[in-house]
Amino acid sequence: MSKNEKRLLKQLIRNRSGATFIDFLEADWPVGKFDVSTFQQTLSIKVTDDELPIAMHHIVERLNLVKQLEEEGYITLWGKIRTSDNTRTCGTASEGSNTVFLPDISVATEVLKYANYEIGFGASLKEWSKQNFRSKPLMSFRVLVFILIAMLAANLIYQARLIRTRVSHEHEQIVDNNKEVLENQLLSNQIIDSLQRQNNDLMIVTEQVRQNTENLQDIEMFLREQQGAFRNIDAQTRYLREQMHLNQKLLKRSDSLLNRMIE
């Protein structure tokens, strides 16, 4: 819709509750003189040859505007029986003007048709005027943006719940793994205690074996093997302790992350 059409509609809505098609033509009639009578079903236009295209463009433009408003439900039309001459005049003839018929018969027919109607302005047109005739696509775009924001928010909530579920599941796994490590640590401690007792026994045996010169070499070799096994077990024990310490750290981190998610 052009600026002139917006200005015209605001003026007509402000000045009256209804109008006629001639009011649409007369408000900013451009050139020449235009007479129309729905009572006599006649119309004439007095213009120069150069002015005729300008006048025709104005008439067709206003016809299209009324049709568009009618199709979109912004105005209502109803016929009115004319009982006396109701000739309306738009503009004044300039020097050198001639009275001519409209070159397009279909346009002339539509002018007489719409000139015979009363035009009422609907509430939706008045509301649209207050919004400065913003286009419907803009209104729809705002609705679309709102829907997209709502969908994004719903997706974020879903993702947050999914992450919280994953963290909770991983936390349970870490707790289970920690229990297993604790059990392994307990078993390792039992093995270490047993080996320590065995080592104490071996030391006693060693003292006794040292007294026996004939078996000294065999007993010493046996002790070396046992001590090597003890070192291996001790190394495994240190590794298990390190794993236990690492799992404790992971458990604390997961507990902290889970608490933040719940908050």
- The DSSP symbol for 249 reads H
For residue 7, the model assigns a pLDDT of 82
Q: What is the pLDDT along the chain (263 residues), one digit of tens a residue?
A: 778 788 888 888 887 767 888 888 888 899 999 998 888 888 889 999 999 999 999 999 999 999 999 898 888 888 877 778 788 889 899 888 998 888 889 999 999 989 888 888 888 888 887 887 776 544 455 555 666 687 777 777 878 787 888 877 877 887 787 788 778 778 778 877 777 888 787 688 668 758 877 766 876 788 788 888 888 888 888 898 889 888 888 888 888 888 888 87
- Say how many C-beta atoms besides its own lie within 10 A of residue 110's C-beta: 17
pLDDT value of residue 253: 86
What is the crossing angle of helices 3-15 and 123-130, to 10°? 120
Which of helix, strand or coil describes residue 76? strand
Residue 255 CB partners (closer than 8 Å, separation 6+): 171
Contacts of 23 (CB under 8 A, 6+ apart): 12, 119
- Write down the residue that tokens 């009115």 correspond to: 80
d(CA 241, CA 155): 43
Integer CA distances (angstroms), 156 to 14, 151, 169, in order: 49, 9, 20
202: nearest Cα among 224, 176, 178? 224
What is the value of pTM for the model shown? 0.48
pLDDT at 138: 45
Say what the pLDDT of residue 61 is. Answer: 93
3 state DSSP class of 194:
helix
Closest-CA residue to 33 (of 94, 86, 85, 96): 94
